[in-house]
């Protein structure tokens, strides 16, 4: 059930700057993510894509600017209000970040157990549903060390979705995956976005993935230390006159 109508901004990033030890990663980054879209943050290695994501989920405090998620200031909230907001987002980490000593089902149950009062039987059933949604029903009892990279990413998505969050953040979902597995993951993301109306923020540099899943995107650049493009990735590929953007989408060597 949508909390309000589609198309409205659920994340607002304004004039964000990230600095570590006086070194500027990016600055003057402003954009909005709208409800129900698959929003892609793209760029070359080292441009600060993952850093931007970690700012958006409140892991790093911004050096400048503000981040608003679901109407709340992510960078200002503390205590119970912050926990309540974190409950409403899900994050899939680059490596999956599954807990190594727990089975996949137990991994999915962790946030459910922490944040709801559901009895054990209900928790197990919800975890089963989530693993079923990502196609991992038959691997529920396996440990993270016993599954493939693609399965770990799927399990990471299942855990991120455990509490039915309206926003999912995915860090490099297709990194290190073969094209078929990667395409399967893209299809899964589209399916969840369509069926559940979930908003996705996806960090990636996989060209095919960007074109397959992205409704809108922004592109960060290491040299420019900030955003160099924003819009529909398919249109950017055709129409952008920025040489870096063109080189990125056409896989060309930048002169």
Partner 1 sequence: MSGSTASPARLESDRDGAGRRLAFHGALDAAGAARLWSEAQRAARGARPLILDLAGLTALDTAGAVLLLRLEREAGRAEWRGLPQGPLQALVERTRTALDQPQPKPAPALPFLGRVGEAAWDWGQGMLRQVIFFGEALVGTAGTLRRPWRLRLSEVLRHLDEAGLRAFGLTALLGFLIGLILAFQSSIPMRQFGAEIFIPNLVGISLLRELGPLMAAVILSGRTGSAYAAELGTMTVNEEIDALRIMGIDPIAWLVLPRLLAAMLVMPVLALVMNLSGLLGMGTVMATLGFPPVAVINQLQNWVRLKDLIGGLSKAALFGLAIGLVGCRAGLGAGRGPRAVGDAATAAVVGGIISIVLLDGVCAILFFRLGW
Binding-site ranges for partner 1 (CB under 8 A)? 1-3, 100-101, 112, 115-119, 122, 125-126, 128-133, 137-141, 143-145, 163-164, 166, 195-197
Q: How far is the CB of 179 from partner 1 (least distance, A)?
A: 23
Query: How many CA atoms does the CB half-sphere of 2 hold within 13 Å?
Result: 15
Q: How far is the CB of 220 from partner 1 (least distance, A)?
A: 29
Q: How far is the CB of 147 from partner 1 (least distance, A)?
A: 11
Specify the residue, 49 or 154, whose C-beta has the smaller distance to partner 1: 154
In what helix (H) or strand (E) does residue 192 lie, and over which residues does it extend? helix 179-196
Specify the residue, 122 or 254, whose C-beta has the smaller distance to partner 1: 122
Query: How many CA atoms does the CB half-sphere of 192 hold within 13 Å?
Result: 30
C-alpha span between 98 and 253 (Å, rounded): 37
Q: How far is the CB of 94 from partner 1 (least distance, A)?
A: 16
Specify the residue, 28 or 87, whose C-beta has the smaller distance to partner 1: 87
Specify the residue, 133 or 202, whose C-beta has the smaller distance to partner 1: 133
Asked whether 90 and 112 are in contact (CB, 8 A), the reply is: no
Specify the residue, 110 or 129, whose C-beta has the smaller distance to partner 1: 129
What is the secondary structure of 116-168 as a DSSP string? ----HHHHHHHHHHHHHHTT-GGGTT--GGGS-HHHHHHHHHHHHTTT--SEE
Q: How is residue 145 written in tokens? A: 């060390």
Q: How far is the CB of 165 from partner 1 (least distance, A)?
A: 9
Q: How is residue 169 written in tokens? A: 């953040």
């Amino acid at each position: 059930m949508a909390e309000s109508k589609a198309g409205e901004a659920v994340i607002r990033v304004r004039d964000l700057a990230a600095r570590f030890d006086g070194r500027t990663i990016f600055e003057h980054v402003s954009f909005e993510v709208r409800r129900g879209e698959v929003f892609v943050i793209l760029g070359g290695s080292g441009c600060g894509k993952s850093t931007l994501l970690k700012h958006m989920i409140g892991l790093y405090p911004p050096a400048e600017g503000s981040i608003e998620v679901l109407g709340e200031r992510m960078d200002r909230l503390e205590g119970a209000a912050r926990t309540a907001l974190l409950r409403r987002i899900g994050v899939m980490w680059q490596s999956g970040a599954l807990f190594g000593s727990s089975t996949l089902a137990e991994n999915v149950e962790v946030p459910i157990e922490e944040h709801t009062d559901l009895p054990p039987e209900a928790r197990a059933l919800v975890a089963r549903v989530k693993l079923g949604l990502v196609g991992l029903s038959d691997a529920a009892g396996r440990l993270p060390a016993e599954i493939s990279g693609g399965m770990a990413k799927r399990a990471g998505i299942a855990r991120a979705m455990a509490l039915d969050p309206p926003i999912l953040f995915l860090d490099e979902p297709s990194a290190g995956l073969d094209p078929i597995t990667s395409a399967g993951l893209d299809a899964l993301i589209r399916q969840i976005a369509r069926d559940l109306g979930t908003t996705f923020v996806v960090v990636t540099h996989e060209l095919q993935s960007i074109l397959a899943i992205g409704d809108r995107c922004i592109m960060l650049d290491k040299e420019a230390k900030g955003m160099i493009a924003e819009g529909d990735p398919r249109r950017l590929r055709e129409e952008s006159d920025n040489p870096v953007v063109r080189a990125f989408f056409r896989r060309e060597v930048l002169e």
